Chain A
Amino acid sequence: MHKYIIKRLLYSVIIFFFVMLIIYVILRCLPTSYLENVARQMSQRPGSKTYQEWLAQLEAQYGMDKGYLGGYFDWLKHFFTGNFGDSWFYTVPVIEKFRETVQLSFVMGLIVMFFEIVISIPLGIVAATKQYSFTDYAVTVIALAGISLPTFFFASLLKLVFSVKLGWFDLFGLVGRNYEQLDAMGKFLDKAHHLVLPIVTLVVLSIGSLMRYTRTNMLEVMSADYIRTARAKGLDEHSVIYKHAFRNTLIPLVTILGGSLPGLFSGALITETLFAIPGIGYTAYHAMVGGDIPFSMFYLAFIAILTLLGNLIADLLYAAVDPRVRLA
């Protein structure tokens, strides 16, 4: 088991190397006038260095003066020694800004995942067991509609109905106007209140795929032989579905969910931006659009690591949950 994990980790590191190389090359291939623009902007900020100094610093920092590979190894070296650089956009060290914002995204992600599971899985099971009935069609349409909705459209609709017409929620932001005057509990509730709409958006958009996946797996399981055996034993339909069939469906479900756990940290880019929730997604979006290379590189590296980690967790979970599987 340990050998397997170590092997996978090594493998992940190699993949990471190549992924970041590609990303680095892409960023480097952006026109040099890009860096010049940034240098110009930076130099115009009050109390900042001159354009020349900025340009020189940036070039040195990104190894623009070296070749691609040289520059890349520089970055790698910095990355693995924990030196993530300073964010240009936010003028603080990258890691600091990151730490501030990632907690919020994670909490949001966790809540969304909870609701997602609680809603999708039962609906998926019901759709599978009552195949071709009205319930099945309804659930299918809802699920597919959920994944067909553009995030921004749905978010705007929610805003229109709930913020503008009904006035229940603020349009943007994490905190209200009189946040400062509230006590600790009030502050917490205020934040929670502001998170309602973004979380609703995310939940609606994500239940679709999990529901479909559950349904497909349940259908496959339900047509298996051992279900017939279970019925022949005299078990009532409820036990057949929820004990025998579901336990088998759980295997791929758990692996998928486990694999998406690391993704909770990556933040929902679009939703956070639309609602101006200062999570990691929102922060990263503005950094990327504003040309903040240190932050972008860090964020991209972060996501790559999360993806690899997610794959690893999914595989490990699969072995843990399915007694038939023994890791090679």
Chain B
Amino acid sequence: MAKKQNDGYLSAKESRRISRENRRITDEYEKKRKRKNVPEEEYLTTMHNPGNAVEFDNLHTYFFTDTGTVRSVDGVTFDVPIGKTVGIVGESGCGKSVTSLSLMQLLQRPQGQVVEGEIRLNLGNKAYDVTKTPNDVMQKLRGNYVSMIFQEPMTALNPVFRIGDQIEEVLKLHDTGDHTEEQIKQRTIELLQLVGIANSEGVYKMYPHELSGGMRQRVVIAMALACNPRIIIADEPTTALDVTIQAQILDLLRQLKDKTNSSIMFITHDLGVIAEMADYVVVMYAGRIVEKGTAEDIFYHPAHPYTIGLMNSKPVVGKKVEELYSIPGKVPNPINMPDYCYFRDRCEMCVGQCRGEYPNEVSISPTHKVSCYRYYDAKGGDTDGE
């Protein structure tokens, strides 16, 4: 255990020890990553269910920092079926963004490493395990099979290139046929129209700083859609926008989902958005999934105390309350997490068993799973996990 200092600070010796550990571990991983000419068999795999676009299987992504090992994603398992929207809910710091970054392999090296687990990506005729895929292969997948919409539209576009150029770039990069310049330009303008930009010809020539936040986000969505990806990751795409624009963007995404057949991984902390958009919902807390199921399951039958707390936190229009509810306490720092239910200290519905280890996942219904001791009796303490 760390030596206690007067003001709760880490001692220099401790910190050095941690650094040395980290260096050793990350060097190992980096060495594996840096190999060239990795044969395909190493990352070729098969989907457990061919109806899934992505399968996350016991993913562990850790960050080896100076203050200890941050277990951002600590055993996350869920599927994203083809053509469906999966919403990932949780507060800041619960690991949702890191999950998506793990899928894109855009983690901050060398501190961030996928330590364990698989992410199976369905490419149609074959499937890759993204965690073992080397970078050069990964580059072909990014933007092409998997694309991402980031949180901050104001800074997501390169300020010195025109909009048209930036969209065309991704098209040209993953261009399979030999399309001419003219064709590519046409496609770009189509995309701009698709995302609801009226003056597509005009915007094509503009620079990012000439557009508003909402417009920029549409452009980013257009870039994400350009190569018809199988899965689009939307990482809090509307958080930085005001509510009216948010509504428009969500509308847009819904329409697009219907038109194309991509799956969407929608990451947010806003339950309302999830309610509108998601088919399936995954609730994360401190790096682990505490509950997952269909949208109806979660919204009409929330099981985990955290989920229940989240639902209660959202003020309902028209309902009069004395005091607005909020979950007591705050999200823990994910360093050196102990082995008991993470929500225990904030939970208002603890039972005796909560003093023990971390609860396993229990099925309440074929689609609805939760990690909470309260549901052990219901199913007789059955453990059900994948």
Q: Do chains A and B touch in the complex (CB under 8 A)?
A: yes
Interface residues, chain A, with chain B CB atoms under 8 Å away: 224-226, 228-236, 244, 247-248, 251, 322-324
| Residue interface mask B47-73, A partner, CB < 8 A = 1 | 000000000000000000000000000
- Within the complex, what minimum Cβ distance (angstroms) separates B356 from chain A? 41
A324-B144 in contact (CB<8A): no
Instruction: Across the A-B interface, give the 9 residue pairs with the lowest CB-CB distance, nearest first.
Output: A234-B143, A234-B142, A225-B155, A233-B143, A226-B158, A233-B170, A232-B148, A323-B207, A324-B209
Docked-complex contact A236 and B139, CB < 8 angstroms: yes
Q: B140 at the A/B interface (Cβ < 8 Å)?
A: yes
Q: Is B156 positioned at the interface, with any CB of A under 8 Å from its CB?
A: yes
A232 close to B143 (CB less than 8 A): yes
Q: How far is the CB of B217 from chain A (nearest CB, A)?
A: 12
Most B CB within 10 A of own CB, among A225, A232, A248, A251 = A232
Contact, CB under 8 Å: B142 / A231: yes
Known contacts A232-B143, A323-B160, A324-B159, A225 near B136 by CB under 8 Å = no
**In angstroms, how far is the closest chain A Cβ from the Cβ of B219?**
11
**Chain A residues in 8 Å Cβ range of B223:** 229, 233
Nearest CB on B from A250, distance (A)? 8
Give the tally of cross-chain contacts (CB within 8 A): 69
* Measured CA separation A80–B104 after assembly (Å): 66
Does B325 sit within 8 A of A, measured CB to CB?
no
Chain A residues with Cβ under 8 A from B155's Cβ?
A: 224-226
User: For residue B158, which residues in chain A have a CB less than 8 angstroms away from its CB?
Assistant: 226, 229-230, 244, 247-248
Q: Across the interface, do B174 and A232 meet the contact criterion of CB distance under 8 Å?
A: no
A-B contact pairs, 18 of them (CB 8 A): A225-B150, A226-B158, A229-B220, A229-B223, A232-B106, A232-B142, A232-B143, A232-B148, A233-B142, A233-B223, A234-B140, A236-B136, A236-B139, A247-B158, A248-B158, A248-B159, A322-B159, A323-B159
Residues of chain B lying within 8 A (CB to CB) of residue A248 = 158-160
A229-B150 contact given A234-B170, A323-B209, CB 8 Å threshold: yes
A235 touches B139 (CB 8 A): yes
Taking a contact as CB atoms under 8 Å apart, the answer to whether A229 and B156 are in contact is yes
- Contact assessment for B173 and A226 in the assembled complex, using a CB-CB cutoff below 8 Å: no
A188 to B317, CA, bound (A): 87
Binding site for A on B (CB under 8 A): 104, 106, 136, 139-144, 147-148, 150, 152, 155-161, 169-170, 173-174, 207, 209, 220, 223
Contacts of A229 in B (CB 8 A): 150, 156-158, 220, 223
B161 touches A233 (CB 8 A): no
Q: Which residues of B contact A228 (CB under 8 A)?
A: 106, 150, 156
CA distance A248 to B157 in the complex (A): 12
* Cβ-neighbour of A234 out of B150, B156, B174 (below 8 A): B174
Which chain B residue has the least Cβ–Cβ distance from A226? B158
Q: Check A231–B106 contact: CB distance below 8 A.
A: yes
Is the Cβ of A232 less than 8 Å from the Cβ of B159? no
CB contact between A233 and one of B152, B169, B209 (< 8 Å): that residue: B169
Taking a contact as CB atoms under 8 Å apart, the answer to whether B160 and A232 are in contact is no
Cβ contacts under 8 Å, A251 to chain B = 160
Measured between beta carbons, the chain B residues less than 8 angstroms from A231 are 106, 142
Taking CB atoms, residues of chain A closer than 8 Å to B156 are 225-226, 228-229
* Chain A neighbourhood of B170, CB < 8 A: 233-234
Q: A229-B150, A324-B209 are in contact. Are A235 and B159 (CB under 8 A)?
A: no
Contacts of A225 in B (CB 8 A): 150, 152, 155-156
Whether B143 lies near A226 (C-beta < 8 A) is no
* Other contacts beyond A232-B106, A234-B142, A322-B160: 19, CB < 8 A: A225-B152, A225-B155, A226-B159, A230-B158, A231-B106, A232-B104, A232-B150, A233-B169, A234-B143, A234-B174, A236-B139, A244-B158, A247-B161, A248-B159, A248-B160, A251-B160, A323-B159, A323-B209, A324-B209
Contact partners of B152 in chain A: CB under 8 A:
225
User: Which residue in chain A gives the minimum CB-CB distance to B157?
Assistant: A226
> Bound complex: CA of A247 vs CA of B161, how far in Å?
9
Q: Chain B CB within 10 Å — which of A244, A247, A251, A323 has the most?
A: A323
CB pair A232–B209 under 8 Å, yes or no, is no
Residue of B nearest to A230 (CB): B158
How far apart sit A251 and B160, CA to CA, in the bound complex (Å)?
A: 9
Q: Decide if B141 touches A324 in the complex (CB within 8 Å).
A: no
| Complexed CA–CA distance, A244 and B156 (Å) | 12
In the complex, A322→B104 CA distance in Å?
Answer: 31
